Amino acid sequence: MSDEQLEIQCKDRLTFQNFLGYPDSVPDARTVWLFRERLASTGKEGEFWELFNSQLKGLKVKEGESKDVVFMKVGEREVEASKDNAYLQSSTMLEADSGAPTVGDIIRRKQNEAKGDKNAKGTSISISYDELKKSKERGDEAETRRSVDGTWTKKRNKSYFGYKLHTKVVARFGLIEDYEVTTASLHDNRVDLSLPGEPMVRDKAYSFVSAKGIPFTMIRASRGNPLSDDDRKVNRILSSIRAHVEHPYAVMRRVFHFTRMYVTTIKRVSVRAMFMCMSFNLMRIAFLLRPRD
């Protein structure tokens, strides 16, 4: 929600008041904006994130059972990756304003041009794909500012402009351990969030790329080298383990509506992403600590 809406909800809704401990006063929208700007300009959102995560580590939650285990040889020792000890890494797109015209922009432009044309009255306004493609900038009628640090990328034959949120998730609990924000054009395998000695389960986008930790990467087929039955079995097990990494993205998109960025720099996007990851962890912890029969 917007900063103005946050101020209104904190003053009006009992659930928000209860979460804040029923404070005597609530910061206004401008104060909230300046707080995020200070984090972005000083680069201290990482310290803020570490302080938050250190508090989560003291909580005790019920551990689940793990059946799927993958083993691999590392030197002379055998290492296993399962939901009990593995970490997961993946990424999701955060779309932003590219400055390119939208269909609505061009229709409004044509409507303004048609106001002085008597012959155009009563006729419907339509645009072609070529006309949309030729319009590079929106000009004065743009309703939002172009993102400064965003870049273009293509995924499944569809072009996206904006950023990527890379996350490292604890497989056992489904909590976000670490995150990083990059521009959309940076390939996933250029970001490594693992630490030495950690089993890191990754999808096929990270194939043929090493990691600081111990990579358990899904096997990708190549020309002349199809997957064997054993390769498919390993992929199925790794896929079941890494499924938890997609859960935060689903919550962010469907519950938090965190799909499109309206801030214009990567530092600001990173701060907003940090608060989004914190919000998910709070929701996840509430789920893990709920009473069970």
For residue 247, name the pLDDT band (cuts at 50, 70, 90): very high
Distance CA 85, CA 97 (A): 39
107 closest CA partner among 68, 71, 135? 135
Write down the mean pLDDT value for the chain. 84
What pLDDT does residue 21 have? 93
Read off the pLDDT of each residue in 143-148 and give the average, rounded to a whole number.
67
pLDDT score of 114: 72
259's tokens:
């799909």
**Average pLDDT, integer, range 5-34:** 93
User: pLDDT value at position 122?
Assistant: 56
pLDDT digits 0-9 by tens, 38-91? 999 998 898 989 999 888 877 766 655 555 677 766 566 677 777 788 899 999
Each residue's pLDDT tens digit, 153-180: 888 888 888 999 999 999 888 999 999 9
Phi, psi of 139 (to 5 degrees): 80, -150
For residues 108 and 142, what is the distance between their CA atoms, to the nearest angstrom? 10
How many Å apart are CA 258 and CA 3, to the nearest integer? 15
Report pLDDT digits (tens) over 190-234: 999 999 989 999 999 998 888 999 999 998 988 888 988 888 988
Q: Indicate the angle between helix axes 45-56 and 266-288, nearest 10 degrees.
A: 10
Which residues are CB-neighbours of 159 under 8 A, at least 6 positions away?
A: 152, 153
* More confident position, 264 or 270: 270
The helix (run of H) or strand (run of E) holding residue 179 is strand 175-183
- Judged against a pLDDT cut of 80, whether residue 258 lies above it is answered with yes
Kindly tell me if the per-residue pLDDT of 105 is higher than 70: no
Q: What is the distance between the alpha carbons of residues 288 and 174, in angstroms, rounded to a whole number?
A: 10
Domain extents in the chain = 1-42, 46-97+150-288, 103-141
pLDDT tops 70 at residue 102: no
Whether the CB-CB separation of 215 and 202 falls below 8 Å is answered with yes
Cα separations in angstroms, 242 against 216, 232, 270, 272? 10, 15, 24, 25
